Structure 1
Amino acid sequence: MANTILISLSLFLTAGITIFTLGNAQSSCNGPCQTLNDCAGQLICINGKCTDDPDVGTHICSSGGGGGGGGGTCNPYGTLYCNGTPYPQYTCSPPVTSSTAAKLTLNDFSPGGDGGAPSECDGQYHSNSERVVALSTGWYAGGSRCGKLIRIVASSNGRSTTAKVVDECDSRYGCDAEHAGQPPCKNNIVDGSDAVWKALGLDENLGIVPITWSMA
């Protein structure tokens, strides 16, 4: 019996299939995976990429969900109710291109600000004078863009600036102390500091404006 189990396990691992564990989920559809904890949501690791779990019957990736730069559209995997209001939950974001359409929102990354907890990338708060951003979960891609610069272009006036990725704009969870009581982010958000808005010459009172972004 022991030999049979070992042979079955060997075949299972050779096929490149890894059991999904929720604890430290990171990658979304088509994201890289090697360990048991690499895939977000109800996804499974097959041939080194996170994809739909045939045993669970998910259709997140087959419906075109592309997280962190994958192709196709991106569909929600669930709904989170916050004070009776439903919010879609995403592990994916639209594909990243050389000019990715997004919405710029305003965030205070300092202590007591909108961001709640310290930034996820470095465990630190950031002043409003720093050009820093948080990206929606799919674009954040499990932290793979932490510390990297992105280029942001304002759709209204064509002005551009660079900003450093320091945090995730969580598209899965929210409405708790960790998220400063805010609902989950939409899946197409670049959450920028005051300095980002000023560098783009945008009116912060607007709260949300169309932009494009790319890796700098």
Structure 2
Amino acid sequence: MDWARIPRTAISSCNGPCQTLDDCSGQLICINGNCNDDPDVGSHICGGGGGGGSPPTTPSGSSCQPYGTLTCNGISYSQYKCSPPEASSTPAKLTLNDFSEGGDGGGPSKCDDKYHSNSESVVALSTGWYAGGSRCLKTIRITAQNGRNTTAKVVDECDSNLGCDAEHAYQPPCENNIVDGSDAVWKALGLNEDLGVVDISWSMA
């Protein structure tokens, strides 16, 4: 891996104490109520939160920012071509998807042009992490906050650019930090599917 090319900065609002791991974005994690650098990455943008003030700035291009908005049914959604930087364990949101024909995913999966049953452990990744299909049919490891983990095959993109059309089953663009998992993934992690979205971390298996 070319470590020189891995972004070394991260963005966080740092406008107050964080309550959960997800209150800090990018490569920052919540430690003792403050947004701190991920020890696995070692960036130094927000060594502590807690106070008010302006968000920290980062060099141009070093963080994942939206490039536009897409309005669906009167609601505006941010569009992304990137995802948060990856670390040895990358924070993400796990969502639930039906990859079978007629399911939430709309058309067949991008990677293999096939539908997948709910019993298969498969995922779609946000556009930035999907990386133009370079992760197609590769295996990732997903770890839930309850300590359980499982593996799943990448079969599709959770499009962070486009949505609200037939190709995307009339759903809005994905957020840029999504691992969209099948029913089998949720069951393997022992998660309540009624929640719809849960905090997880992922890495290449």
TM-score, normalising length: structure 1: 0.67
SS in 1 for 2:76: strand
Q: Distance in 2 between matches of 1:165 and 1:83?
A: 30
Aligned partner letter, 2:158: C
Aligned partner letter, 1:123: D
Which of 113, 120, 130 is residue 123 of structure 1 equivalent to? 113
How far 1:92 moved relative to its partner? 0.2
Q: Give the match for residue 174 of structure 1.
A: 163
Q: Does 1:63 align with 2:31?
A: no
Q: Distance in 2 between matches of 1:80 and 1:103?
A: 21
Which of 72, 75, 79 is residue 89 of structure 1 equivalent to? 79
Cα deviation code 1:175-206 (max 9, x no counterpart): 00000010000000000000000000000000
- Structure 1 segments unaligned to the other structure (5+ residues): 1-29, 32-60, 65-71
Aligned partner letter, 2:128: G
SS in 1 for 2:190: coil
Q: Give the match for residue 177 of structure 2.
A: 188
Cα deviation code 1:71-126 (max 9, x no counterpart): x4210011101111100000000011110000000000000000001000000000
Q: Give the match for residue 195 of structure 2.
A: 206
Which of 72, 95, 106 is residue 105 of structure 1 equivalent to? 95
Aligned partner letter, 2:200: I
Contact 1:63 1:75 in 2 (8 A): no
Cα deviation code 1:25-69 (max 9, x no counterpart): xxxxx89xxxxxxxxxxxxxxxxxxxxxxxxxxxxx9633xxxxx
Aligned partner letter, 1:169: C
Q: Does 1:74 align with 2:64?
A: yes
Q: Distance in 2 between matches of 1:110 and 1:205?
A: 19
Aligned partner letter, 1:134: A
Indicate the percent of aligned positions where both proteins have the same amino acid. 77
Equivalenced residue count is: 150
Q: Distance in 2 between matches of 1:62 and 1:171?
A: 23
Q: Distance in 2 between matches of 1:163 and 1:91?
A: 23
Q: Distance in 1 between matches of 2:176 and 2:117?
A: 25
Q: Does 1:161 align with 2:150?
A: yes
Q: Distance in 2 between matches of 1:158 and 1:144?
A: 28
**RMSD value, Cα:** 1.5
Which of 117, 122, 133 is residue 132 of structure 1 equivalent to? 122
Q: Distance in 2 between matches of 1:89 and 1:154?
A: 27
Q: Distance in 1 between matches of 2:107 and 2:87?
A: 30
Aligned partner letter, 1:125: Y
Aligned partner letter, 1:89: Q
Q: Give the match for residue 114 of structure 1.
A: 104
Which of 177, 197, 208 is residue 186 of structure 2 equivalent to? 197
Larger radius of gyration: 1
1:3-14 matched pairs, under 5 angstroms: none
TM-score, normalising length: structure 2: 0.71
SS in 2 for 1:214: strand
Q: Distance in 1 between matches of 2:60 and 2:127?
A: 18
